Structure 1
Amino acid sequence: MVPAPNRTPTRHQTARRPLTESARRTAAHTTAALGAAVGVVSTGAFALVMPTTTGALPVADAAEIPTSLAANSTTLPVDTAPVRTSSSTLGTLSPVAFVVNTDDTEVGAPTDPDIAALDKGGKLADQLAEMHAQAAREAAENARIDAIVANGGLDGWIAEALRIMEMPQSYAPSVKKIIMAESGGNPRAINNWDSNAARGTPSEGLMQTIPSTFRKFVHPSLAGRSITDPVANITAGVRYMVATYGIGTLASGGRSNHLGQYIGY
């Protein structure tokens, strides 16, 4: 075996010499200074970078930084922006406004468009339901009146006359009381003994009206009927009494004296 030739190290393969104590202290100071500049904390084989509150170096350590490093060092800027509180992550809170009601709108009425639409729809539904209920009540009342009219007789005549005059059927008992006092319910009754009869214009019919009163106050739709027609005679007598004495007299069942006794109208 041929002995290997002696190899001398090139300039790229210089032998590593151990650091002297002086060089080791210099390197340690340099590392500590750089760590203070950028906030490095050495933990064995790893280094943890910590942000510093100021970019300035301690005076004692800055004096030991090599000139080449000091020339390239930069003072870190301090962030002077106000610190955001945790409330910023919750979004912007709008203040609650208390509105004073200055008009006739309902207090506490919803202002959200969708809720207002629902509220309006509910009110319209209630109104529609009430309209249907009213129509049902009217239909039932008309059916009741139709039945009374169909049965004929005094109650039927009164019901039909009030319907033609568009007056409430609640006046029926009062009208019947007047009729019974005037004619006893006889549509052909004629008074031949009072002052009207003496003048040649006797009172006739259920309500005992004279011919001129009948012609003036009979309901226009019944103007062609005779004075003894039950329904036509009732409309003439009622309309005359209301025009002369007021609706209160009709409601009370005719005129009466201080003793409460019925007197003619």
Structure 2
Amino acid sequence: MLTLSLIGIGCGDPGQVTLAAIRTINAADLILIPRKGTAKSDLAELRRTICADVLTNARTQIVELDLPVRDGGEADYRKGVDDWHDAVGVTWSQTIAAHLGSTGRVALLVWGDPSLFDSSLRIARRLDPLPSIEVIPGITSIQTLCAAHALPLTDIGEPFLVTTGRRLREDGWPAGTETVVVMLDGGTAFQSLDPKGLHIWWGAYLGMSDQIVMSGELAEVGPRIVAARKAARERRGWIMDSYILKRR
């Protein structure tokens, strides 16, 4: 029987790795570390660091693999993502078969938590043969962002909505909520909104040593965030950020 463990490792701080995650890492026969090109080599390096810090099982193999890249230019967004997930699933299956076969325990260290805007669970169900899947939850970027700003996400008795930058840009402010969490924003979708009465809490490289956080009235701090984001991306070659917007 093949078991695949998807292990949430938090957002960049090795101290966010839970005891349950450490136990599961040490129970693995094979740990896969995905590489996403030189621009995001920091992400693979963090996974290597975590393994070096917590892995004590000398029998565990660590194998790195290059993932297929989605070009993002397809007309049908959903189909393009599905095709990409199919290709990643084939890469996972081939790597597992080559290094472990069809029996044993495989682990993947997942940024944040596998349940929130992460494709690992959908890809795992494409594997051949289909493994038994277990999830070890991790600290999300939402939690890390709120902690960085000492911000309670929910107001008393009020809901909040988690969405993407693309949906915020295309659909505008979601009806029925005063608090919006925005993730997977390839740009600065908040610029498409009327800033009047909006407050923003923004963070990039959350949990990492060079974490950046800014907050304030959107009309005032929005341009500073745009400039800081551009400079950080040029410096590192990549950026992962998220933000919370509230009507006030």
Shorter chain as denominator, the TM-score bin is under 0.3
- Name the TM-score, length of structure 1 as normaliser: 0.19
Structure ranking higher in strand proportion: 2
Task: Between the two structures, name the one with larger relative contact order (CA 8 Å, sep ≥ 6).
Answer: 2
Structure ranking higher in helix proportion: 1
Instruction: Give the number of the structure whose alpha-carbon radius of gyration is greater.
Output: 1
- Name the TM-score, length of structure 2 as normaliser: 0.20
